[in-house]
Amino acid sequence: MGSFKDKSLTNGIFFLELLTAVEPRVVSWNVVTKGETEQEKKLNATYIISVARKMGCSIFLLPEDIVEVNPKMILTLTASIMLWSLSNQTGEDTSTMSSELENGLASASISSVDNDSASQASLPPDNGSQSQIE
68 or 113, higher pLDDT: 68
User: Which positions ≥6 away from 18 have C-beta within 8 Å?
Assistant: 78, 81
Structurally, the chain folds into a number of domains equal to 1
Q: What is the mean pLDDT of residues 107-114?
A: 48
Rounded-to-integer distance, Cα 130 and Cα 78, Å: 62
Per-residue three-class SS string for 82-95: HHHHHHHHCCCCHH
Do the Cβ atoms of 61 and 73 come closer than 8 Å?
yes
In a domain, 102, yes or no: no
What proportion of the chain, given as a percentage, has pLDDT over 70? 66
H or E segment and range at residue 39? helix 38-55
Q: Is residue 121 part of a domain?
A: no
Rounded to an integer, what distance in angstroms lies between the CA atom of residue 63 and that of residue 51? 12
In a domain, 122, yes or no: no
- Tell me, yes or no, whether 28 lies in a domain: yes
Check residue 82 and give its pLDDT.
Answer: 95
What phi, psi does 28 have (nearest 5°)?
-95, 100
Asked, for residue 101, whether it belongs to a domain, the answer is no
What confidence tens digit (pLDDT) does each residue in 20-35 have? 999 999 999 999 999 9
CATH number at residue 88: 1.10.418.10
3-state secondary structure of 99: helix
Angle (deg, nearest 10), helices 13-22 and 71-89: 10
In this structure, is residue 110 part of a structural domain?
Answer: no
| Residue numbers of the domain that contains 51 | 7-94
